[in-house]
């Protein structure tokens, strides 16, 4: 009997509430928009937590960072609602300047204890060649928060009663163990991404082609046309376990 046979790979569709943590507005849609729409369509409550304001995400020097952050927030709210997200939480850190892991984990833990999700989705911080500090720290801090949030003496910001997170799913990963059929939600995902007009007004043809090709590659041989791939694990495997990488 292997570890997967013993514990089983958690099934996201069994959750009642899912918290999706993203470093910037649009990351959830790009990495897991089809999955998020699928979960919402099943009646699962989906909550977004956005860590930064996205204020440096432009090559247009004529737009002020504060104005860009305002525009991107509106784009993100429309996009999330289009996918069926029920609530959006904003931490409001300056884009590119999130705090170190310990401080960020305490803040994310405060949200976890308030929202009380059955599963948390976040970009994989162990993605090879991930050069963006916001992505690495958000993923690491979220994983840490999920481990500690069930312990009453672990300090969160704000301090709140403990809530144990059973499942964590990492999207944009090179070590997937779960492939979600997104044939029925692909159109909604792409529409949601396009709502982030400040990010995708230019180069949309190439971006949409890449996303489609990647989704088809991930689905190959699985009986459907397009897939999103995630590494979904029981939270207990995120600490002191040598088998998690191959799980």
- Show the 3-state SS of 19-65: EEEECCCCHHHHHHHHHHHHHHHCCCEEEEEEEECCCCCCCCCCCCH
Question: Band of the pLDDT at 5, cuts 50, 70, 90?
Answer: confident
Complete DSSP assignment for 50-107: EEE--TT--S-TTS-HHHHHHHHHHHHHHHHHHHT--EEEEEEEPTT-PPPHHHHHHH
Mean pLDDT confidence for 209-223: 98
Does 124 reside within a domain?
A: yes
Does 160 reside within a domain?
A: yes
Does 108 reside within a domain?
A: yes
Question: Band of the pLDDT at 213, cuts 50, 70, 90?
Answer: very high
Mean pLDDT confidence for 14-19: 98
Question: Is 4's pLDDT higher than 90?
Answer: no
Q: What is the chain's mean pLDDT, rounded?
A: 96
Crossing angle (nearest 10°) for helices 65-83 and 186-194: 160
- Total number of domains constituting the chain: 1
Domain CATH for 28 = 3.40.50.10320
Domain that holds residue 132: 3-236
Q: What is the dihedral of CA 39, 41, 44, 46, to 10 degrees?
A: 70
Question: Band of the pLDDT at 1, cuts 50, 70, 90?
Answer: low
Question: Is 51's pLDDT higher than 70?
Answer: yes
Residue 176: half-sphere exposure toward Cβ, Cα within 13 Å = 15
């Amino acid at each position: 009997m292997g570890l997967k046979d013993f514990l089983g790979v958690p099934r996201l569709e069994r959750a009642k509430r899912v918290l999706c943590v993203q470093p910037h507005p649009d990351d959830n849609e790009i990495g897991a928009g089809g999955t998020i729409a699928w979960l919402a369509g099943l009646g699962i409550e989906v909550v977004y937590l956005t860590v930064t304001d996205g204020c440096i995400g432009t090559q247009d020097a004529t737009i002020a960072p504060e104005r860009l952050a305002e525009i991107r927030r509106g784009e993100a709210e429309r996009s999330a609602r289009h996918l069926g997200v029920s609530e959006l939480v904003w931490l409001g850190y300056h884009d590119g300047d999130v705090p170190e892991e310990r401080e960020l984990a305490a803040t994310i833990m405060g949200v976890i204890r308030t929202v009380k999700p059955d599963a948390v989705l976040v970009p994989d911080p162990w993605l090879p060649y991930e050069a963006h500090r916001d992505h690495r720290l958000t993923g690491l801090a979220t994983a840490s928060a999920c481990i500690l949030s069930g312990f009453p003496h672990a300090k969160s910001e704000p301090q709140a009663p403990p809530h144990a997170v059973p499942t964590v799913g990492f999207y944009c990963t090179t070590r997937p163990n779960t492939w979600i059929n997104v044939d029925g939600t692909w159109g909604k995902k792409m529409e949601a991404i396009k709502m982030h007009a400040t990010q995708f007004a230019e180069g949309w043809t190439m971006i949409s082609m890449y996303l489609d090709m990647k989704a088809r590659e991930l689905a190959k041989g699985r009986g459907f046309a397009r897939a999103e791939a995630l590494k979904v694990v029981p939270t207990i495997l995120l600490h002191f376990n040598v088998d998690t990488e191959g799980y």
